C-alpha cells in the first residue's frame, strides 16, 4: 500500500483517519475476515510501532490502543491473538530485532495474520530452569544445520507451522556462549511431537524430538554463538506477554470470585471476605503496575521488570483460584472434565473453578520458574549481589549432567 501520510510518525488523529479509510474500503459487516486482516496489515494498522511495510507505521507503541479501540467499536475481526500468542508475543519481536530484511518480510505478515502458528523450542528435560545448559546440538553441514535433541513443555507444538529454537553449536565454550538461535520448520520429517497429559486431563503441552532436522543457515537468527543474547529478547517479551497483558478493573481471575460473592450471599464468611478484599487490592495493584510497564515498553525493549509482573501473575492466579474453590465449598471440589483434549489455547474463564485451580499450578513454571524470576528481579532490578555460579566459566562439555 502506498504511503499516504507525511514522513513524520502519525499521531492519533492520523491513525483514526487511516482506520476510517480501512473501514470505508472493507466494511466489517460484509468483508471476509481474512481479507480485512490483510488490508489492515497493509495499511500499517497491525502493530503501529513496527516499520512501514511490516504491518506498522513507525508510530509510538502507545497509539496501538487508539487503533484497537476504533476497530473494536466498528465490530472489526481480530487475528485471534490468544491462538497465536507465542508468535505475536515472542517470535515477532525477536525477528523484528535480529532478523534480516528477508526474514522479516517472509515471517511477520503470515504470523500476524494467523496463517502460521508458532511455538517455542527452548526448555529441555535436562535444562529447564538452567536453560543455558541445553544439550540439543546443531552441527553445520554445508548451507544447513543438522539438529539432534529433545525439547519439552512446548505449548502449541501440535498446531505450529514454525518454531523458535535454540541449540548448542559449540560445546567447547562456556554454556552461555555456544548457543545459536534458529527458526525451525515444524513440518520437517525429523520433527516428532508427542502430547504431555497434564493434571487437568488435557494435553496442552508437548515434548518434541528433533532427529536429523535440517535448518538452512538462512533461517538462523543472529550470529553463530550469540543465541543466548537473542533468546533474552524472546524471554523478556514472553514474561511481559504472560504477566503484563492489558485487563480492565476486576478483569482476569479476580473477577470470577468477586462476581460469585455478589451473586450468592449464602457463600459468604468473614474470613473469605477479608481474603477476597486483600486479593482484589493486590490484583488491582498488579493491573496498574502492568499499565506502567507498558508505558515504559513504548520507549524501548522489555527489561527485567517483566519478570516481576510474571511473578505476581503466577502467585495471584494460584491464590485467587484457591479462594474460588474454597468459596464454592463442596461445589468447588467437583471436576469431571478429564477428557484427553488437545486445546488450541488455555481457557481459564470458560471452564469451572476446579479447572482453574489445577491449571494455575503451571503459572509458576511456564515462562520461567518463579525461583529463576526471583533471582532476575533480585540481581537485575534491585541490584543485589548475584548467587555464586561455579560453572559459569566452564566449557559446556565439562558440566556435570
Q: Which residues are catalytic?
A: 238
Q: Which residues of 313-345 are buried (b: 16+ CB within 10 A; e: fewer)?
A: bbbbbbbbbbbbbbbbeeebeebeeeeeeeeee
Q: Copy the grid coordinates of residue 198.
A: 497434564
Among 172, 185, 173, 169, which Cα is nearest to 224's?
A: 169
**Are 160 and 191 contacting, i.e. CB atoms less than 8 angstroms apart?**
no
Question: What torsion, rounded to 10 degrees, do the Cα atoms 45, 238, 230, 122 define?
Answer: -130
Q: Copy the grid coordinates of residue 141.
A: 553441514
Q: How far is CA 84 from each of CA 27, 259, 305, rounded to the nearest angstrom?
A: 24, 29, 24
Cα 377 to Cα 373: distance, rounded to the nearest angstrom:
6
What is the DSSP annotation of 297-332?
Answer: HTTSS--THHHHHHHHHHHHHHHHHHHHHHHHGGGG
Amino acid at each position: 500500500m502506498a504511503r499516504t501520510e507525511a514522513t513524520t510518525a502519525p499521531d492519533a488523529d492520523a491513525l483514526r483517519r487511516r482506520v476510517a479509510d480501512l473501514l470505508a474500503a472493507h466494511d466489517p459487516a460484509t468483508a471476509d475476515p481474512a481479507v480485512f486482516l490483510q488490508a489492515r496489515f497493509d495499511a500499517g494498522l497491525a502493530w503501529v510501532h513496527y516499520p512501514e511495510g511490516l504491518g506498522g507505521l513507525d508510530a509510538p507503541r502507545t497509539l496501538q490502543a487508539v487503533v484497537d479501540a476504533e476497530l473494536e467499536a466498528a465490530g472489526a475481526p481480530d487475528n485471534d491473538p490468544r491462538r497465536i500468542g507465542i508468535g505475536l508475543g515472542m517470535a515477532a519481536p525477536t525477528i523484528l530485532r535480529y532478523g534480516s530484511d528477508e526474514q522479516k518480510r517472509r515471517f511477520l505478515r503470515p504470523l500476524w495474520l494467523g496463517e502460521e502458528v508458532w511455538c517455542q523450542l527452548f526448555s529441555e528435560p535436562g535444562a529447564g530452569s538452567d536453560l543455558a545448559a541445553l544439550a540439543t546440538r546443531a552441527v553445520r553441514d554445508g548451507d544447513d544445520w543438522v539438529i539432534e535433541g529433545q525439547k519439552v513443555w512446548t505449548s502449541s507444538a501440535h498446531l505450529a507451522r514454525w518454531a523458535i529454537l535454540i541449540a548448542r553449536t559449540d560445546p567447547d565454550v562456556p554454556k552461555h556462549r555456544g548457543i545459536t538461535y534458529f527458526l525451525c520448520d515444524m513440518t520437517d520429517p525429523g520433527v516428532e511431537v508427542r502430547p504431555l497429559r497434564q493434571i487437568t486431563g488435557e494435553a496442552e503441552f508437548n515434548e518434541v524430538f528433533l532427529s536429523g532436522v535440517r535448518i538452512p543457515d538462512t533461517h538462523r537468527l543472529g550470529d553463530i554463538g550469540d543465541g543466548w543474547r537473542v533468546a533474552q529478547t524472546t524471554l523478556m517479551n514472553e514474561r511481559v506477554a504472560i504477566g503484563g497483558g492489558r485487563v480492565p478493573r476486576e478483569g482476569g481471575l479476580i473477577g470470577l470470585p468477586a462476581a460469585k460473592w455478589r451473586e450468592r450471599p449464602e457463600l459468604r464468611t468473614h474470613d473469605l471476605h477479608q481474603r477476597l478484599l486483600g486479593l482484589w487490592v493486590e490484583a488491582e495493584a498488579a493491573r496498574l503496575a502492568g499499565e506502567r510497564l507498558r508505558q515504559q515498553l513504548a520507549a524501548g525493549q522489555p527489561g527485567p521488570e517483566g519478570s516481576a509482573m510474571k511473578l505476581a501473575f503466577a502467585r495471584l492466579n494460584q491464590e485467587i483460584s484457591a479462594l474460588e474453590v474454597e468459596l464454592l465449598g463442596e461445589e468447588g471440589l467437583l471436576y469431571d472434565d478429564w477428557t484427553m483434549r488437545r486445546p488450541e489455547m488455555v481457557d481459564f474463564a470458560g471452564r469451572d473453578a476446579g479447572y482453574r485451580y489445577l491449571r494455575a499450578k503451571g503459572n509458576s513454571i511456564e515462562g520461567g520458574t518463579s525461583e529463576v524470576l526471583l533471582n532476575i528481579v533480585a540481581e537485575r532490578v534491585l541490584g543485589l549481589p548475584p548467587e555464586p555460579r561455579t560453572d559459569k566459566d566452564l566449557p559446556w562439555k565439562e558440566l556435570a549432567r
